[in-house]
Structure 1
Amino acid sequence: MTAAATLLIVCPFGAAFTHVAHRSLQHSVPLLRCQTPCATPLPRWSRQQHARRCSLVVARGDSRRSLASRVDGSTKYLVAGAQLWALAARRDALAPFIVLGMVCASFLCSALKRVIGAARPGLSGAAARASDPGMPSAHALVSASWDGHVYLHDTAANELRARYAHRAAVLDVAVVDGGASVVSAGVDRELKAHDWTTGVERILGAHDAPVRAVEALPTGGLVSGSWDRTIRVWDARGARACVGVHEQPDKVYAMAITTRHGVPLVIVATAGRHVLLLDARRLSEPVQRRESSLKAQTRCLAASEDGESYAVGSVDGRVAMEYIDASDEVQERKYAFKCHRSTGADGVDVAHPVNVLAFHPVHGTFASGGCDGVVNVWDGGAKKRLGQWAGYPTSVASLSFSPDGRRVAVAASYTYEEGDRPHAQDAIYVRELGSKDCAPKSKSAKLFASAPIRTAGKASAALVA
């Protein structure tokens, strides 16, 4: 596999799911590596033994899930049909009564199963529906990979619980029904809905080109963005899944969802540096049309939780902080800065693409991950860097915070920015966060100046307006 791509992962910590990213080129199952809480950058791991242990656990969990799916699927119906046929062939006077008794017993067993499932204490939403894999919802992680699979992991046990396949690389995945189901899409152009409980899959529909992004809407349903220059709205529960097609100025590269003053917004970044802000209730006409403040191609996009701002990252190692309010007074506050930079062996400044941006759900700060294998945490309002997590063995393909802000999942995966060369094995890291790791610093406390920050090379630490 030589084609470069950035793939997304979804990381649900609790009933709600958030986005991270991962790409698996050398192996079919992503590896998980967990880290205890600390305020210092990630240490380097001794990975060989861990990788072997993870592979053994993953293989065992996958085979158990496959066997359960087969037994609980079509096999039981074939057996029941064979039994009924045998009874009918006997032409016994008691055969109809036996068949009626079997049908009644089947309904009774189904009813008892539902009652027992509803009576289980402490299970609701994603946790109840993940009871077959046996994983607590607080440690669930869903990842979409370049190898054409979507995985469900238990990060506490470092085990694979379930997976399903696409016909090609999966570029994004969204969570629906409180975590019980996911909808994934990618290079095969199809949107596939998968129920973790039953294993039932459904193709909702397809685009005319690879699908780069899919997001769940606050108003219900989903929206997908594709390289066919359209975004499409989907109702996974309806008989007619695709309920809207809306043309975009160019190929869709990134999307983000937020809510501002009660209005759900879809922010779309396309080729040609276009940025469109759309009301999720009326996607046919953009509320605002903008041009990115960055001069290079857009790579990623993230929106703040309060709906007041969004950040855009580009392939030249820059990030732009934008504000949704279109008034001149507010627009004067927007700025751009260099972030993922280092000095090469020849002394030349190297700009690394920014692959991912993610806002902290509690503090409103945001993190950026780049091809330099570094995650930077920023206070956008104060224009300061709060910290840096270095030491990842290869490019940071994407990352995501848990909904409570206590964990972050980071996907380290080579993105082929330097061509086909030897690289570290892809892996997902789960990092526990301290109360102050992503909290904004007070301007008067001068904590930022005194806080030690370890850098990789000579990465820029200042925000440049």
Structure 2
Amino acid sequence: MSAIHELQDAPSDSISSLAFSPSGTKLVVASWDSSITIYTRSSESETPFALESTYETRAPVLDVCLGKDDNSLYCVGLDGDVRDMSQAVTGGEERVLSSHSKESNKVVYSKNHNLILSTSWDGSMHAHNVDNGAFIRIQLPAKPFALAVTAERVVVAMAERKVSVYDLGGISALISRSASSDPNQAFTSVPVWQERESSLKFMTRAIACMPNNKGFAVSSIEGRVGVEWFDPEAQKDMYAFKCHRQTTKARLQGQDTEEEIDVVYPVNALAFHPVHGTFATGGGDGVVALWDANTKRRVRQYPKLGASVAAVDFSNDGKFLAIAVSPGFEDGEEKPEGLDTPGSVIKVVIRTLSELEAKGKAAK
């Protein structure tokens, strides 16, 4: 079984996202306190990662990603800017790649095409050429909630259960032909490679693509995960399942006796294991679980972590699982009396995984 370690010097406010560097020797953590914290793998610390540095930004950071190497760092936040923090990491100045008209909520990096893609609550996606700074603005069908990339596709999950899949090669070609660095440039018409309706009925919380590039998993606020495939024939076998739910006895408002109720938590985070292809879910119940997409079985479930799980990520070698724990505000003042509610805890924990811990299970 894995060993678990809590990292020191966690952010002072809720954690929005975290990500391992390509080599797995660095972990970057973004927070609502406008900070970006970088931890480095350490053999001298009691934990596998120790604090390297902290950077203050001008606004709360909503998402962060690494680029082609360990020093290529990008972030987005409430100011709407898409920021290249790579020079700041090495002592220089940060650079604004583009600015959305409203808050920018997600950012990802495409290694195969060397692109930075960002989304915003203004209903747009920006695609940036990292080398020359050129970018295009893409009008999305609805407000975006989640963003993920495969080797050749970018998947955007949006409001109204809309999911759009774009071809990264086509986007890269459009940037080469028609992009500019003009912040007021018009939207570029980009054909949608695949358009579909989410298999989940409630608002999307997270999305993650399979390491074999064949499909993706998507989660919702209503304690469900959907597993879907790009190939139309394989998509016939798509499925969804319930998770991160707690059955408990509680005294409801206005009643004198306790009764059994089913408490449903949002599934806030998803990440695929890069070696075994299983995936992790993190929920508002403070639980992280591992699942096998192919056999539709749960591999294992870890103990509660004291507050809502906000983000998860595997290192590229699959040896570490990073987990961000923050108050998720899933339970309000009208919470049934006696319900076990995660507390106001902010921390980053690392699970050092054993060799086969995340390996899938054979079908029954």
TM range, smaller chain: 0.7 to 0.9
For residue 272 of structure 1, give the secondary structure of its aligned residue in structure 2: helix
Between Structure 1 and Structure 2, which shows a larger proportion of strand residues? 2
Q: How far, CA to CA, are the matches of 1:274 and 1:5 in structure 2?
A: 28
For residue 178 of structure 1, give the secondary structure of its aligned residue in structure 2: coil
Q: Which residue of 1 aligns with 2:3?
A: none
Letter of the aligned partner of 2:154 in structure 1?
V
Shift of 1:416: 1.5
Kindly provide the CA deviation profile for residues 360-385 of structure 1, in whole angstroms up to 9, marking residues without a partner as x: 10001111110001011111111111
For residue 295 of structure 2, give the secondary structure of its aligned residue in structure 1: coil
Question: Against the structure 1 CA distance between its residues 394 and 270, is the aligned structure 2 distance closer, same or farther, given a 3 Å change threshold?
Answer: same
Question: Against the structure 1 CA distance between its residues 299 and 231, is the aligned structure 2 distance closer, same or farther, given a 3 Å change threshold?
Answer: same
Q: How far, CA to CA, are the matches of 1:322 and 1:246 in structure 2?
A: 24
Show the 5 A alignment for 1:269-288. 269-283=157-171, 284-288=190-194
Please, which of 431, 440, 446 is the counterpart of residue 360 of structure 2?
440
Q: Which residue of 1 aligns with 2:63?
A: 172
Q: Which residue of 1 aligns with 2:322?
A: 409
For residue 170 of structure 2, give the secondary structure of its aligned residue in structure 1: coil
Q: Which residue of 1 aligns with 2:150?
A: 258
TM-score, normalised via structure 2 length: 0.81
Q: How far, CA to CA, are the matches of 1:205 and 1:441 in structure 2?
A: 44
Show the 5 A alignment for 1:381-460. 381-419=294-332, 423-443=343-363
Letter of the aligned partner of 2:16 in structure 1?
L
Q: How far, CA to CA, are the matches of 1:404 and 1:415 in structure 2?
A: 29
Q: How far, CA to CA, are the matches of 2:143 and 2:27 in structure 1?
A: 29
Q: How far, CA to CA, are the matches of 1:415 and 1:185 in structure 2?
A: 20
Question: Against the structure 1 CA distance between its residues 427 and 155, is the aligned structure 2 distance closer, same or farther, given a 3 Å change threshold?
Answer: farther
Question: Against the structure 1 CA distance between its residues 6 and 273, is the aligned structure 2 distance closer, same or farther, given a 3 Å change threshold?
Answer: farther
1:229 matched to 2:123? The reply is yes
Which is bigger in relative contact order (C-alpha 8 A, separation at least 6)?
1
Q: How far, CA to CA, are the matches of 1:348 and 1:11 in structure 2?
A: 38
TM-score, normalised via structure 1 length: 0.64
Q: Which residue of 1 aligns with 2:280?
A: 367
1:205 matched to 2:213? The reply is no
Q: How far, CA to CA, are the matches of 2:158 and 2:36 in structure 1?
A: 25
- Number of residue pairs matched? 310
Q: How far, CA to CA, are the matches of 1:11 and 1:416 in structure 2?
A: 26
Kindly indicate whether the alpha-carbon contact (under 8 Å) linking 1:10 and 1:141 is maintained by their aligned counterparts in 2: yes
Q: How far, CA to CA, are the matches of 2:287 and 2:272 in structure 1?
A: 16
Show the 5 A alignment for 1:73-112. none
Please, which of 37, 40, 56 is the counterpart of residue 151 of structure 1?
37
Q: Which residue of 2 aligns with 1:191?
A: 82
Question: Against the structure 1 CA distance between its residues 331 and 354, is the aligned structure 2 distance closer, same or farther, given a 3 Å change threshold?
Answer: same
Shift of 1:155: 4.7
1:356 matched to 2:269? The reply is yes
Please, which of 146, 149, 155 is the counterpart of residue 267 of structure 1?
155
For residue 282 of structure 1, give the secondary structure of its aligned residue in structure 2: helix
Please, which of 309, 323, 347 is the counterpart of residue 229 of structure 2?
323
Shift of 1:253: 0.7
Shift of 1:221: 2.3
Kindly provide the CA deviation profile for residues 55-100 of structure 1, in whole angstroms up to 9, marking residues without a partner as x: xxxxxxxxxxxxxxxxxxxxxxxxxxxxxxxxxxxxxxxxxxxxxx
Question: Against the structure 1 CA distance between its residues 5 and 160, is the aligned structure 2 distance closer, same or farther, given a 3 Å change threshold?
Answer: closer
Letter of the aligned partner of 1:290 in structure 2?
R
Shift of 1:437: 1.1
Q: How far, CA to CA, are the matches of 2:350 and 2:73 in structure 1?
A: 21
Q: How far, CA to CA, are the matches of 1:236 and 1:376 in structure 2?
A: 35
Kindly indicate whether the alpha-carbon contact (under 8 Å) linking 1:6 and 1:415 is maintained by their aligned counterparts in 2: no
Kindly provide the CA deviation profile for residues 304-361 of structure 1, in whole angstroms up to 9, marking residues without a partner as x: 011112111000000001011023xx22211110011101332200110000111110
Shift of 1:425: 2.4
Q: Which residue of 1 aligns with 2:109?
A: 216
Q: List alignment gaps of at least 5 residues for structure 1.
A: 17-137, 447-465
Q: How far, CA to CA, are the matches of 1:192 and 1:313 in structure 2?
A: 27
For residue 294 of structure 1, give the secondary structure of its aligned residue in structure 2: coil
Kindly indicate whether the alpha-carbon contact (under 8 Å) linking 1:192 and 1:203 is maintained by their aligned counterparts in 2: yes
Shift of 1:177: 3.8
Q: How far, CA to CA, are the matches of 1:285 and 1:175 in structure 2?
A: 27
1:248 matched to 2:140? The reply is yes
Shift of 1:191: 1.4
Question: Against the structure 1 CA distance between its residues 368 and 390, is the aligned structure 2 distance closer, same or farther, given a 3 Å change threshold?
Answer: same
Shift of 1:5: 7.7
Shift of 1:163: 2.1
Give the number of the structure whose alpha-carbon radius of gyration is greater: 1
Question: Against the structure 1 CA distance between its residues 422 and 266, is the aligned structure 2 distance closer, same or farther, given a 3 Å change threshold?
Answer: closer
Shift of 1:422: 8.8
Show the 5 A alignment for 1:8-23. 8-12=17-21, 15=23
Show the 5 A alignment for 1:291-370. 291-327=197-233, 330-346=234-250, 347-370=260-283
Q: Which moved more, 1:175-184 or 1:403-412?
A: 175-184
Question: Against the structure 1 CA distance between its residues 141 and 226, is the aligned structure 2 distance closer, same or farther, given a 3 Å change threshold?
Answer: same
Letter of the aligned partner of 2:52 in structure 1?
R
For residue 180 of structure 1, give the secondary structure of its aligned residue in structure 2: coil
Cα RMSD (Å): 1.9
Letter of the aligned partner of 1:149 in structure 2?
S
Q: How far, CA to CA, are the matches of 1:312 and 1:9 in structure 2?
A: 18
Letter of the aligned partner of 2:246 in structure 1?
S
